[in-house]
């Protein structure tokens, strides 16, 4: 649906603290809906995880299975964006959603943003590597600047995802225009939301893996004839020996990840709504007083 023509610039500055707290509050208050919507994507992700463990010795098959993990992510992200943006508490989201054209476009644009992000990192690593060799003390700051720069660009373009989920006529150019002067606010909001979850993941993931897996990979001796496969093989053997424990650990972390993923998706939806002034078409036509879910 097309609710109105996108404005040329942001209609308001993004309130970083308010939109972050609103996203966390909305996700917490809708936890039962989150559980229902995440059920099928989680089951699909679990299946892909099991198959990936079996495909460790086949790099090509493993890569295909990795790319397929974006399918359950797309199913969940589109459904959650629609729930947050369409503003209907009773919105009907089937437990097993049908794959539609909006899912294809969302998946394509997700890959496009990933290509842009990693492309910036790859090309930016050339001057960063050159400068780091000359000034090794500033290397960490250069790497951080490169990561933030790539994140800034993708944050400016990220509004295409919620717009795609609600089938809004919207382009990367629209996103870039409407996030003018909002890039720092956007990336600050993303960091404010994601960093605590990342730190929590770094704390609990070793506990889960250590509790379900035994032993350590036996690393080979470093020689001139050592190949990449020689380095990877001990880890592959270690994961194959601990296949059951590794699989269960991955499934546990997958299940735990849906709350932070939902919170980040909600943040993106609310940021899109705040900066563009977007409202659902039916609300706009009726002229109702629309609650943005964000307390100013």
Please indicate, yes or no, if residue 155 is contained in any of the structural domains: no
Please indicate, yes or no, if residue 147 is contained in any of the structural domains: no
Please indicate, yes or no, if residue 113 is contained in any of the structural domains: no
Please indicate, yes or no, if residue 10 is contained in any of the structural domains: no
Helix (H) or strand (E) holding 35, with range, is: helix 31-54
Residue numbers of the domain that contains 281: 16-98+179-286
Structure tokens at 110: 């997700």
Model-wide pTM > 0.95: no
Total residues found in the chain within this entry: 296
Please indicate, yes or no, if residue 270 is contained in any of the structural domains: yes
Please indicate, yes or no, if residue 211 is contained in any of the structural domains: yes
Mean pLDDT over all residues of the chain? Answer: 85
Residue 264 has pLDDT above 90, yes or no: yes
Of 46-60, 66-80, 217-231, 281-295, which gets the smallest average pLDDT? Answer: 281-295
Please indicate, yes or no, if residue 291 is contained in any of the structural domains: no
CB 251 within 8 A of CB 205: no
- Judging by beta carbons within 10 Å of its beta carbon (0-12, 13-18, 19+), is residue 141 exposed, middle or buried? exposed
CA dist 74 and 68 (Å) reads 10
Q: How many domains does the chain have?
A: 1
Of 3-12, 121-130, 149-158, 205-214, which gets the smallest average pLDDT? Answer: 3-12
């Amino acid at each position: 649906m097309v609710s109105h023509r996108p404005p040329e610039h942001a209609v308001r500055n993004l309130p970083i603290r308010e939109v972050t707290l609103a996203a966390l509050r909305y996700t917490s208050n809708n936890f039962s809906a989150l559980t229902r919507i995440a059920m099928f994507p989680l089951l699909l992700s679990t299946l892909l995880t099991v198959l990936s463990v079996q495909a460790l010795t086949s790099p090509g098959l493993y890569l295909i299975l990795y790319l397929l993990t974006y399918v359950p992510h797309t199913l969940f992200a589109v459904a959650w964006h629609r729930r947050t943006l369409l503003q209907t508490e009773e919105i009907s989201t089937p437990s097993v959603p049908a794959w539609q054209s909006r899912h294809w476009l969302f998946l394509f644009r997700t890959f496009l943003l990933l290509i842009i992000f990693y492309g910036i990192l790859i090309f930016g690593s050339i001057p960063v590597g050159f400068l780091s060799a000359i000034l090794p003390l500033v290397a960490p700051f250069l790497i951080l600047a490169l990561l933030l720069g790539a994140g800034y660009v993708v944050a400016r373009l990220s509004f295409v995802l919620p717009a795609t989920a609600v089938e809004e006529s919207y382009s990367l150019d629209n996103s870039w225009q409407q996030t003018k002067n909002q890039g720092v606010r956007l990336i600050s909001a993303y960091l404010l939301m994601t960093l605590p979850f990342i730190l929590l993941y770094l704390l609990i993931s070793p506990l889960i893996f250590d509790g379900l897996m035994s032993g350590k990979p036996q690393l080979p001796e470093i020689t001139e004839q050592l190949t990449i496969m020689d380095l990877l093989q001990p880890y592959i053997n270690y994961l194959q020996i601990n296949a059951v424990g590794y699989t269960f650990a991955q499934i546990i972390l997958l299940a735990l990840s849906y709350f932070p993923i939902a919170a980040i998706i909600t943040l993106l939806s609310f940021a899109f709504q705040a900066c563009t002034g977007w409202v659902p078409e039916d609300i706009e036509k009726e002229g109702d007083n629309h609650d943005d879910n964000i307390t100013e």
